[in-house]
Amino acid sequence: MAKIDVFDTTLRDGEQSAGVNLNLLEKMEIAYQLERLNVDIIEAGFPAASNGDLQSVKRIAEAVKGSSVTGLSRANQNDIDAAWEALKGSVEPRIHIFLATSPIHMTYKLKMTTDQVLETAVESVKYASEKFTHVQWSAEDACRSDKHFLVKIIKEVIDAGATVINLPDTVGYMSPEEYGALFRFIKENVPNINRVKLSAHCHNDLGMATSNTLKAIENGADQVEGTINAIGERAGNTGLEEIAVALHIREDIYRAKTGLKLDELKRTSNLVSKLTGMSVPGNKAVVGNNAFAHESGIHQDGVLKEKTTYEIISPELIGVQTNRLVLGKHSGRHAFRMRVKEMGFELTDQKLNDAFKMFKDLADKKKEISDEDLFAILMEKQTEADGTPIYELKSLQVQYGMDNIPTATIAVVNPEGVYQQEAATGFGSVEAIYNTIEKLVEDSVVLLDYKIHSVGGGRDALAEVYVQVTYNDHQSSGRGTAQDVLEASARAYLDAVNRVRSVHHREKQKVTV
């Protein structure tokens, strides 16, 4: 099994993400976590970029001992000296020098000929090797470079003292097959290549960074570069979490592994996301919040019976406690019943079915049903009297306008099973509803108290209404839950009436016995 070195550039290429700016303490926090994750190399910054960057790299190099720390440098003495200033305190000082080798970059950006680039690369690597134990050299934009020129310059920089050669796909241009072939070509054609480690560094412009990196491993890469959460310049870099977990899960084909502590991945991802302000999409591979969430009934049923039906990665592997069965409109009875049980409710089959129907109706209106929503539904069902014929709300319509008299039209099925419909007005919508209900139920109802609050937060939160009434000379309370406040109000009023009826019903039964 080949061991692949992990070179983390979250603090350098990752910080190049538009809008990301980390201060020293934030960088230190991430560096400590990367050390805990057991990355081999941390690229902590670009010391020549600013005094702040130099100081961060220096502090991280002094503080972190479990991973090697490096800094980026252009191919000139000034940048190399800045890197030395930052890194000379580390155990085995390591520098990362880059110089572009593609015609586009050499012509337009560097304004240098190939000979000048060759000479600059060799001189800078020689200069750096006098100070640093490890010198990584990157052929920037290697993937759009002439491969014979690459062979030539790589051979020369190895002779000049480079210990690692990196072939970056700087603009995320290559296909996996092409990138793999480039590694094979360099391995087969650079005569001194076995003296160095070969590294892959991919960008995700065409969404191929992970596949490209894996292809590089299949074709001889000893080191992979990337960031946590795949952040980085433009569309980002290779997500190290994806590589490490892919190698682990598909060990059968890659026959390679990293030394990462995989169960630190989620924590690292959370920390990087929080400190950079770059949120991780829910569907992000490995570390997205939905990576272990199952929403559809058939999947939930499968996972309840045997996790591996729909999970190739176990959540514990990356430090997530458990998978999540999300209750939503695609969920089925198996998952619903399990959640009901977990929440401590024991419902009869009939009530469970009714609750499931209420849940499905609500799920049609809300994206995700929270535990609070579910609790409200289940509590309503749990506390509903059994066996008593009740008034069942069938439909409710309210007409309201600032200059009109509010009117409610309500249909119920009464305790005798008869469908009834009535309409009434009121000073407000709720009063119109309550006046209508009074016409529908046999005896008079007097409202004593009315309270309303929202269950959970957000604009689509459920409304929960509590009422106190006297009905038929009995005081009673009632509770109603619905997404609409008027429906919740109607349900609460009918619930109070039904509770009185249920007490009567039980008393009558006692007398009969």
Ligand X SMILES: CC(C)C(=O)C(=O)O
Burial of 420 (0-12, 13-18, 19+ CB in 10 A): middle
Residue nearer to ligand X on the CB measure, 127 or 391? 127
Residue nearer to ligand X on the CB measure, 54 or 369? 54
Alpha carbon separation from 224 to 19, 157, 180, 238, 443 (Å, rounded): 25, 20, 13, 9, 78
Which parts of 100-139 interact with ligand X (CB under 6 A)? 138
Closest of 311, 316, 308, 224 to residue 265, by C-alpha: 316
Alpha carbon separation from 462 to 213, 325, 372, 452, 485 (Å, rounded): 47, 21, 9, 10, 8
Alpha carbon separation from 4 to 67, 95, 220, 243 (Å, rounded): 14, 19, 10, 10
Using rule CB under 6 A, residue 169 touches ligand ACO = no
Burial of 449 (0-12, 13-18, 19+ CB in 10 A): exposed
Q: State the binding partner of 201 from ligand X, ligand ACO, none, CB within 5 to 8 A by kind.
A: ligand X
CB of 1 to ligand ACO, least distance (A): 32
Using rule CB under 6 A, residue 201 touches ligand X = yes
Provide the 3-class DSSP secondary structure of residue 57. helix
Q: For ligand ACO, what does the binding mask look like between residues 61 and 80, x meaning CB under 6 A? A: -------------xxx----
Residue 402 Ramachandran class (φ > 0 left, ψ -120 to 50 alpha, else beta): alpha
Residue 325 belongs to what H/E stretch?
strand 324-325
Q: For ligand X, what does the binding mask look like between residues 1 and 30, x meaning CB under 6 A? A: ------------x-----------------
Using rule CB under 6 A, residue 117 touches ligand ACO = no
Residue nearer to ligand ACO on the CB measure, 165 or 262? 165
Using rule CB under 6 A, residue 233 touches ligand ACO = yes
CB of 116 to ligand X, least distance (A): 19
Residue nearer to ligand X on the CB measure, 95 or 214? 95
Residues 235, 241: contact at Cβ < 8 Å?
no
Residues 339, 297: contact at Cβ < 8 Å?
no
Using rule CB under 6 A, residue 48 touches ligand ACO = yes
CB of 12 to ligand X, least distance (A): 8
| Cα separation, 33 vs 41, whole angstroms | 13
Using rule CB under 6 A, residue 82 touches ligand ACO = no
Residues 194, 161: contact at Cβ < 8 Å?
no
Contacts of 450 (CB under 8 A, 6+ apart): 430, 465, 466, 467, 468, 489
Residue nearer to ligand ACO on the CB measure, 225 or 233? 233
CB neighbours (10 Å) of residue 461?
16
Alpha carbon separation from 16 to 46, 48, 285, 440 (Å, rounded): 11, 15, 22, 68
Token duo for residue 416:
């005798």
Closest of 117, 116, 115 to residue 141, by C-alpha: 117
Q: For ligand X, what does the binding mask look like between residues 45 and 84, x meaning CB under 6 A? A: ---------------------------x------------
Residue nearer to ligand X on the CB measure, 142 or 445? 142
Using rule CB under 6 A, residue 168 touches ligand X = yes
| Cα separation, 434 vs 441, whole angstroms | 11
Q: Is 13 annotated as a binding residue?
A: yes
Q: Is 201 annotated as a binding residue?
A: yes
Using rule CB under 6 A, residue 156 touches ligand X = no
Alpha carbon separation from 463 to 3, 371, 417, 478 (Å, rounded): 57, 14, 28, 14
Which one among 10, 33, 68, 166 touches ligand X, defined by CB under 6 A? 166
Q: State the binding partner of 138 from ligand X, ligand ACO, none, CB within 5 to 8 A by kind.
A: ligand X
Q: Is 203 annotated as a binding residue?
A: yes
Beta bridge partners of 467: 450, 478
DSSP conformational letter for 200 = E
Which one among 44, 99, 265, 445 touches ligand ACO, defined by CB under 6 A? 99
CB of 170 to ligand X, least distance (A): 3
Using rule CB under 6 A, residue 268 touches ligand X = no
DSSP conformational letter for 109 = I
Alpha carbon separation from 501 to 182, 289, 383, 421 (Å, rounded): 82, 48, 14, 20
Residue nearer to ligand ACO on the CB measure, 110 or 461? 110
Which one among 98, 127, 179, 471 touches ligand X, defined by CB under 6 A? 98
Closest of 24, 25, 31 to residue 9, by C-alpha: 31
CB neighbours (10 Å) of residue 405?
11
CB of 172 to ligand X, least distance (A): 9
CB of 169 to ligand ACO, least distance (A): 11
Q: For ligand ACO, what does the binding mask look like between residues 129 and 168, x meaning CB under 6 A? A: -----------x----------------------------
Using rule CB under 6 A, residue 179 touches ligand X = no
CB of 75 to ligand ACO, least distance (A): 4
Using rule CB under 6 A, residue 170 touches ligand X = yes
Which parts of 7-36 interact with ligand ACO (CB under 6 A)? 13, 16
Q: State the binding partner of 503 from ligand X, ligand ACO, none, CB within 5 to 8 A by kind.
A: none
Which residues are at the interface with ligand ACO (CB under 6 A)?
13, 16, 46, 48-49, 74-76, 98-99, 109-110, 140, 170, 233
Which residues are at the interface with ligand X (CB under 6 A)?
13, 72, 98, 138, 140, 166, 168, 170, 201, 203
Going by the annotation, the residues of the binding site for Mn(2+) are 13, 201, 203, 237
